[in-house]
Amino acid sequence: MRRSFTIIFSLMAALSLLLSACAPQAAKQAPASEAAAPAAGQPAAQAPAASEEGALPEVDPGKVTGNVITAGSSTVYPLSEAVVALFKSEGYTGDVTIDSIGSGAGIERFCVSGETDIANSSRAIKESEIEACKAIGRTPIEFRVGTDAIAIVVNPENNFLTDLSMEDLAKIFSDQVQTWADVNPAWPAEPIKRYAPGTDSGTYDYFIEEVMVPAYGDDENAARAAFQKAANLQQSEDDNVLVQGVEGDKYAIGFFGFAYFQENRNRLKAVSLDGIEPNAETAESGTYPLARPLYIYSDARIMREKPQVAAFINFYLTRVNDVIEEVGYFPASDEALNAARQAWLDAQ
């Protein structure tokens, strides 16, 4: 009996030692098992979201394959061109097509014919254009990429015009006046030569809405008619044509994106509006009367089916501020850029 008790005791002691040895190992393994298996009803583990507000996943341009097709605003064109150059310098070997055809034409190519991956625009997309996009199965996503100011420019030899009121600016680009003296008797009785973007341009639309429409009691049809009937009016989608026109005539006046004035400031003179000059501070603050946002548009399905489009837009939104001031535009606010980056994340 005594021997049986001894054997039982020995077995219990051995079992106790075995359990003690196994317990720490089980405790160490438990957290790993919990991490590997998500709780019931929970999705599988995904890549962690960006911890900083407005941060997007890093893009390696050298690993991006496939081409990207864009078209639209002549104003956005030099900004997109600069971003593409940066994209290529960091390893991208594909092609990004950028057609400068005006905001309206670019959005039409994106929303009607569906030929492009991205539409560049110097104005917000219209409801009618959104409906056109939906008709071909696209839902445009808006990405704010910067800020522009429309520059009002005259010939450097113009010695009588340095500042304009918005009312006089509307009068100058209308059929109400023929000569400078018709606007102000102290100015020369010389015909006004007018140079402006074409009707497909977002710059044209913006000018009509911000300058002409208020002068015509918010009657857009009357405002557009007065503009189009003005004497000595030359319009072009090519801003370089406008630059050359104003440069070649002492009594000319024109308008286009500020970047083109920056490129040609030795050939032209900018006119202030209501005493405010166009520059980075007045554009960002909104005190300059003709400051405006710049956009690119795409679609979530396009971005999923063509990863190179998503990668390019990601790179654009991440690096645009590295080049925007060199181009001659002004950065969008942090709030606007973060909203654009969030729109990118939501599209994934």
Q: Please state the rounded mean pLDDT for residues 66-85.
A: 96
In 3D space, the residue among 28, 78, 7, 154 whose CA is nearest the CA of residue 327 turns out to be: 78
Contact 254, 242 (CB under 8 A): yes
- Higher per-residue confidence, 271 vs 259: 271
State the pLDDT at residue 53.
58
User: Which residues is 195 bridged to in the sheet?
Assistant: 234, 254
Does residue 218 carry a pLDDT above 80? yes
- Cβ atoms within 10 Å, residue 261: 24
Does residue 10 carry a pLDDT above 60? no
CA distance 23 to 46: 32
State the pLDDT at residue 20.
42
Q: Please state the rounded mean pLDDT for residues 77-99.
A: 97
Q: How does pLDDT run across 13-30, given as a tens digit for each residue?
A: 444 443 344 443 333 333
Q: How does pLDDT run across 202-214, given as a tens digit for each residue?
A: 899 999 999 999 9
Does residue 37 carry a pLDDT above 70? no
Does residue 31 carry a pLDDT above 60? no
- For 183, the enclosing helix (H) or strand (E) is helix 180-183
**Which range among 38-47, 280-289, 309-318 has the greatest average pLDDT?**
309-318
Contact partners, residue 153, CB within 8 Å, separation at least 6: 246, 253, 254, 255, 256, 261, 268, 269, 270, 271
Lowest-confidence region among 92-106, 157-171, 173-187, 270-284: 270-284
Q: How does pLDDT run across 172-201, given as a tens digit for each residue?
A: 999 999 999 999 999 999 999 999 999 988
- Higher per-residue confidence, 18 vs 346: 346
Mean pLDDT of the chain: 86
**Per-residue pLDDT band at 263 (split at 50, 70, 90):** confident
- Cβ atoms within 10 Å, residue 293: 18
Residue 278 CA neighbour count, 13 Å, CB half: 29
What whole-number percentage of the chain has pLDDT above 90? 73
Distances (CA, A) of 19 to 6, 24, 137: 20, 9, 64
* Domain architecture of the chain: domains with CATH: 61-148+293-346 (3.40.190.10), 149-291 (3.40.190.10)
Q: How does pLDDT run across 119-139, given as a tens digit for each residue?
A: 999 999 999 999 999 999 999
**Per-residue pLDDT band at 54 (split at 50, 70, 90):** low
